[in-house]
Amino acid sequence: MRAQSISVGSATTSAWIPVDTNKNPFNIGFGVTISTAVLTYKVQHTFDNVQDSTVTAVAFDHPDVTGETTNQDGNYAFPVRAIRLNVTAYTSGSAVLTLIQAG
């Protein structure tokens, strides 16, 4: 998977970024950068197939990147189906989530 990025500039969730569960190793590194922003965010993942329009994905918070207000990075060592950015409080600016998957 080539690097993928998604930007959020309001109090909302981004679209899900599906990842390849068949990669070996699965490992995904991610970073969130904020640009002159006053906001709070968290990174979330799901085990549901977000590419199936009949499925309502259940979101789980990343254990280390939640309630953040500054640039952060993290990883997923074990398979998940998709990852997104959730801006929970917003005053100004934007946040960008970038994913890179090994394999």
pLDDT value for 99? 97
CA separation, residue 88 to residues 10, 40, 46, 61 (Å)? 9, 6, 18, 12
- End-to-end, the C-alpha distance of the chain in Å comes to 8
The arithmetic mean of pLDDT across residues 96-101, rounded, is 97
In this predicted structure, the answer to whether residue 94 has a pLDDT above a threshold of 80 is: yes
Q: Which CATH architecture has domain 4-101?
A: Sandwich (2.60)
The arithmetic mean of pLDDT across residues 82-94, rounded, is 97
How does residue 35 score in pLDDT terms, banded at 50, 70 and 90? confident
How does residue 36 score in pLDDT terms, banded at 50, 70 and 90? confident
pLDDT value for 1? 66
Domain ranges of the chain: 4-101
